[in-house]
Chains A and B, each alone.
Chain A
Amino acid sequence: MKLKKNLPLRNLLGRPVRTTVLVILTALLSVTFLCGTLVITSLRKGLGSLEARLGADIMVVPYEAATKSDLQNIVLQGNTGYFYMDNSRLEKIMKCDGIGQLSCQFFLASASSGCCSIPVQIIGFDPETDFTISPWIKKSGGGQLKDMDIVVGNDLNAFVGDTLKFYGVECHVAAKLDKTGTSFDTAVFTNENTIKKLIKSSVDLKMNSFTNIDPDKTVSCVLINAAEGYTPEEIINDINIHVKKVKAIQTKEMISGVSDSLSGVSDVTGILISAVWILGTVIFLLAFTMSVNERKKEFAILRVTGASRKKLASIVLQEAVITGITGSIIGIIIGLVIVIPFSSSIESALNLPFLIPDISRITEYAGISLIISSLTGAFAAGFSAFRISRIDTGLILRGDN
């Protein structure tokens, strides 16, 4: 007749409805904390990744492409598109003061018709001068790109060794980039020579809206890093004043909209997490107070048979910890199942860069969620247990409290 399970566990199993409600409540707190934290962190990481990928202080584009939303659509939202300007402006830009690093990029959008394997944004860069894409390729394990080599974004269904066709030109996939959580995950990167061939081919096939461009004399944008002692604002002013038909934009300004949205989402999520936690803590306190009141006679029996105040509190706390840990684990599993597999959907819904943190960071958040969810329950239970343990058992038995 020895107790097969300890008393707190038996108490929990003996009251399945109450136990289920407490477990669900803890799971709710845990899932709110974990999902909220993961979403905020993923958005912050996404923004950080976007900043790193843009990798330049200033972007100079043709004036007509500079309406902020068009450029943003291509660079930030992952929409396909392209624009070009005469490379003679490059020389004028280079003459401006304070330019530390400068590199050109070339844009082309592949079509969805038979000429191309997949419709994507193709970005060409000059390996000699590039300072934004090459380090990233290197980090992802890629080497120097040969002509007709391409590097694909992480979300594209293409792998190293595959051959993709753009405007009738076959390209070899030389590397696949690490996930960035940004529009760059659906882009294709290649060197200057290759993209010029692709642009020429698109023009030849009459599939380029720029019908009479010479790929050797055009660029899409110029990326600039300010030299030491100069601010991007000074260089931007210089370019915008002295170089015609171009617009210099500070990349920070370009992503300020994303930053603002991120800040808004973070604030709302933070308020939501706080509200759920305050509400959850109040419900916990009510649930444990009601439960302890309902079980006053049981606690009196435990006292009568020799349980000390400490032992009584320990039984109540153990019950809270068991429900807390069970609920938290369920909440963590639900949270991970919601956020990780559906990160793309969340990214689309929020329309913001979204990069899930690495496994160690997720484990850390799950651990924090487990601890604070369990502690909230334990705090509420401890408070109720303390109150009941201070009452003389004789008074409980008389029903005078």
Chain B
Amino acid sequence: MLRAEKISKEFIRETKGTNRFAAVQETDFEISDGQLAVITGRSGSGKTTFLNMLAGLLTPTDGKVFLDGTDIYSLSDRELSRLRNQKTGFIPQGQTAIHSLSVAENILLPYTLYGEYSEDAEKYAYELMEKLDIINLKDVRPSELSGGETRRMAIARALIKKPQIIFADEPTGDLDDENTRTVFEFMKSISENGASVIVVTHETDSEKYADRVFRMNSGILSEK
């Protein structure tokens, strides 16, 4: 279970006048295993900042984030990194890939980082590539992929270790309607298998897959 207690994030602006602004105002959040939560909101409303804080990628200005009872920001960098590797999957916004590796190698990256490669992992990578329709691109370099293909590769990479919780930031940004539906159905099936899934998205259709729907408005999170 993931729980956030009174987390907020302020950034310093390098412009004249008010030099601090609150990207996310004090917020509590909780998601149980097997739930799919969707967070919608306008651009710049603080959705991504909020997601990054939950994922252990951005230290909150105030508040705490607990994963299975552990305050993740009290961990050392090594411990937090290991926790991210073992328990979380993250699908970032935009085109994200290690350009010197093939699609399959990119997907298996969470395993190879800690030398945990196994044939089962490879088998699962192929399975994910089949499901996401990128199996024929397994040996291709990311520079040769379209935006949608790169995004599907990032999804497979996030899911490869069958994480306990998945964070997805606009996972369908570059995808057409059919692929968008496939991805959300996929996310839904993963949550039904016991993982928590938090999706930040503009897709209004996404709400029909969600167990819980949140809206972020000027840094204030509210549940619909």
A contact set with B: CB distance below 8 Å: 1-3, 7, 10-15, 297-298, 300-311, 392-395, 397-398, 400
The one of A11, A297, A305, A394 in contact with B53, judged by C-beta atoms closer than 8 angstroms, is A394
Given contacts A297-B96, A394-B52, contact A307 B113 (CB under 8 A): yes
Given contacts A1-B122, A307-B81, contact A301 B92 (CB under 8 A): yes
Nearest A residue to B122, CB-CB: A1
| Chain A hits for B99, CB < 8 A | 14-15, 298
Q: Closest CB of chain A to B55's CB: distance in Å?
A: 8
Q: How far is the CA of A307 from the CA of B48 in the complex (A)?
A: 21
B210 within 8 A of A: no
Q: How far is the CA of A12 from the CA of B112 in the complex (A)?
A: 17
Pull 26 A–B residue pairs with CB atoms less than 8 Å apart, ordered by A.
Answer: A2-B108, A3-B101, A3-B112, A7-B101, A11-B100, A14-B99, A15-B100, A297-B96, A298-B99, A300-B92, A301-B97, A301-B98, A302-B98, A303-B57, A303-B84, A304-B57, A304-B84, A306-B84, A310-B78, A393-B52, A393-B57, A394-B53, A397-B52, A397-B92, A398-B48, A400-B11
Q: Is the CB of B113 within 8 A of A305?
A: yes
The one of B92, B100, B102, B104 in contact with A304, judged by C-beta atoms closer than 8 angstroms, is B92
The one of B94, B109, B122 in contact with A305, judged by C-beta atoms closer than 8 angstroms, is B109
Q: Is the CB of A1 within 8 A of B108?
A: yes
B58 within 8 A of A: yes
| Chain A hits for B84, CB < 8 A | 303-306
Q: Is the CB of B113 within 8 A of A2?
A: no
Q: Closest CB of chain B to A361's CB: distance in Å?
A: 41
Q: How far is the CA of A10 from the CA of B122 in the complex (A)?
A: 19
Q: How far is the CA of A3 from the CA of B95 in the complex (A)?
A: 22
Q: How far is the CA of A13 from the CA of B53 in the complex (A)?
A: 35
Given contacts A397-B48, A398-B49, contact A1 B125 (CB under 8 A): yes
Q: Is the CB of A311 within 8 A of B57?
A: no
Contact residues on B (Cβ < 8 Å of other chain), bracket? 35 or more
| Chain A hits for B86, CB < 8 A | 306
Q: How far is the CA of A10 from the CA of B112 in the complex (A)?
A: 13
Q: Is the CB of B113 within 8 A of A306?
A: yes
Q: Identify the 3 closest CB pairs spanning chains A and B, nearest first.
A: A306-B85, A14-B100, A394-B58
What 15 additional pairs, Cβ within 8 angstroms, besides A297-B96, A394-B52, A400-B11?
Answer: A1-B102, A1-B104, A1-B105, A2-B122, A7-B98, A10-B101, A11-B100, A297-B94, A302-B109, A304-B84, A307-B81, A307-B113, A308-B77, A397-B52, A397-B93
Interface residues of B in 104-135 (CB under 8 A from A): 104-105, 108-110, 112-114, 117, 122, 125
Q: Is the CB of A7 within 8 A of B112?
A: yes
B184 within 8 A of A: no
Q: How far is the CA of A177 from the CA of B157 in the complex (A)?
A: 71
Secondary structure dominating the interface of A:
helix
| Chain A hits for B112, CB < 8 A | 2-3, 7
| Chain A hits for B138, CB < 8 A | 1
B59 within 8 A of A: yes
Given contacts A7-B112, A297-B96, A392-B57, contact A398 B52 (CB under 8 A): yes
Q: Closest CB of chain A to B131's CB: distance in Å?
A: 17
Q: How far is the CA of A23 from the CA of B57 in the complex (A)?
A: 34
* B34-65 to A contact mask, C-beta < 8 Å, 1/0: 00000000000000110011010111000000
Given contacts A1-B108, A310-B78, contact A393 B114 (CB under 8 A): no
| Chain A hits for B117, CB < 8 A | 2-3
B20 within 8 A of A: no
B6 within 8 A of A: no
Nearest B residue to A310, CB-CB: B78
Q: Closest CB of chain A to B15's CB: distance in Å?
A: 14
Q: Is the CB of A10 within 8 A of B100?
A: yes
| Chain A hits for B169, CB < 8 A | 397
Q: Is the CB of A311 within 8 A of B122?
A: no
Q: How far is the CA of A301 from the CA of B98 in the complex (A)?
A: 8
| Chain A hits for B110, CB < 8 A | 305-306
Given contacts A1-B105, A397-B93, contact A305 B52 (CB under 8 A): no
Q: Is the CB of B98 within 8 A of A394?
A: no
Q: Is the CB of B85 within 8 A of A305?
A: yes
Q: Closest CB of chain A to B20's CB: distance in Å?
A: 14
| Chain A hits for B98, CB < 8 A | 7, 11, 298, 301-302
Nearest B residue to A295, CB-CB: B99
| Chain A hits for B49, CB < 8 A | 394, 398
